[in-house]
Structure 1
Amino acid sequence: MFFASDNWAGAHPAINERLLRESARFASAYGSSELDRTIERRFNEIFEREVAVFFVATGTAANSLALASVARPGGVVFAHTEAHVIEDECGAPDFFSGMRMVPVDGPLGKMTPQALEAKIARYPQDAVHHGRAAAITMTQATEVGSVYTLDEIDTLSSIAKVHGLPLHMDGARFANALVALETTPAEMTWKRGVDILSFGGTKNGCWCAEAIVFFDPAMAKELPFIRKRTAQLFSKSRFIAAQFEAYLKDGLWLELAGHANTMADRVREGLAASNSARLAWPTQSNEIFAIVRKEAAAIAEEKGAKFYDWLQPRDMPETVAGDEMLIRLVSSFATSSDDVDAFLKAIT
């Protein structure tokens, strides 16, 4: 009953098998192998246009280097108050980009247009003392399990374009959001005005595979140097490419995300019928947030359930009583229906 994080899950057998095959051969290094080039072209197919792709090891690296590529002196980057770049990356985006992350409010983990406009207005381009607007980053799916609709992405993109700001998408759970919206990679990104994407694979069955995707290759001219200088150019980068080869083959990545989302739906349905737990807010991806009685949570932990207790967000719609706690549950490609049923039995 492992619901602490999708990072706790292992790697999918198909990805392990592809890594094993790759380990038995020789190939040129530093991203110059035919496999690296083949997978870069595969991203063109996935996104229905020519893109520039750069493999990195972690989501933090992907976000930090993506923002570093559009850095401006004195720049500030607008992100939701609870975004990973603000809350969970130890200042890495600030460190590598030289810019500040500025929080923007909004319910259910999503920036509102009004709040974003208000924050941008505080940083005009000639405000030397305060810094200037430089970029917007949005998380899809969000840190609280919600998903921006295509219309909402359109709206944020329109604001970015009016102010001449690049729009970055943190896609650590990109596949989960894609499946939830039943749309295509192109429709959820560049067709909506997204300029740069952090494309995550690690949370969805890969061992260690992330990519930075530029939808206008001309924007990526500095990234090769940024990646090298930040120690993210791996000599054997083909092992990241090999993971992506298996991940993207025959739609495996969407199948894995679909399974994780389905297991999350099963959890949501079970909690909705529970007497000792309830959903804290609606979610659409593979993250679930629940309010449970502390006694029930302790019993579930004694029976082997793994989950995180969670800090209450400021705009939380439900009230947590003194004998209750807020927890986060995350399903993965490796979560089984038996895992879900055992957890629901333990918690309820």
Structure 2
Amino acid sequence: MKILLYKGFFRIVSKSGIGEAIRHQEKLFKLLNLTYTKKVNDSFDILQLNTVFPDSLIISRWSKWKKKKIIYYAHSTMEDFKNSFRGSNWLAPLFKKWIIHCYNSGDIIITPTDYSKKILKSYGLKKPVFSLSNGIDTDFFCPDIKMGQSFRIKYQIDPSQKVIISVGHYIERKGILDFITLAKRMPNYQFLWFGYTNLNIVPNNIKKSIQSASTNLRFPGYIDRDELKSAYSGADLFLFVTYEETEGIVLLEALSSKIPVLIRDISIYRNLLTEGRNVYKAQNLTEFKDKIEKILNNQLPNLTSAAHEIAAERDLNEVSKQLLNIYTSQFNNENMQETD
């Protein structure tokens, strides 16, 4: 069994969760000692796709004509496409039709969570849908005191200063407007938002809010995984104010890094994460502000050990075993049946 991990237009998604998911898939292949290629002109038995650009659909159709098996990773839904870029809400219904067309070109569909699986199944997809986490490298994303100190030195943050971080694109769905508002309401804390989106493609209200952000909020832009590990190790709170996700790899990174985590109370995390057990949750700005103050002033219990257990269950080693089960059960059986 040889797998073609198709990476067409990878540069477009390389700095996103999809890009990280693709990198994780390469690690899974290596953990499983599976033969794979990234070259389209190589021989292969299984095509693995991650994006919904037109080139992915083209190679999917071509591979089907060559009688190859196709795995389509479904990272996107109409729901998480909304409130992203200019015109995204207007385009959302068309986007939904397009991704259905793309995903149905595969033999099986893999999506990160039961939540996203439920959404996809509601679309009436014709192919089997499996939920499998994108995974997290828990050996890498772990607390590192020296890297944490380097983070504070780089950003000129006093050791006694409380720091709140988040990671994501500059899009409304990620909660960036709420993050900016919280920074203005809490001037005694330092806020950093890591990640980058060209301001020319975001709505004007996002652009103006970023440009008028308070002085205690910085936007360092995209940083590599080493710097991100430093940030998780040196900050005091990971604040995830997103409104919609299919999984949230950066959340898994934070859980694995044992940094206190405060998230928005949204459907995808209702069963996965429990308020007061492994994370703290809030629903509005007032609740976020209250929880932030209590967490940073040690008025709430530290939940990082329990949070790490959630990440450990999704370690790449564990995910690799589950992925192998999907491969062997589905591609050794021509009558592919969906699991529960």
TM-score by length of 2: 0.32
Higher relative contact order (CA 8 A, sep 6+): 1
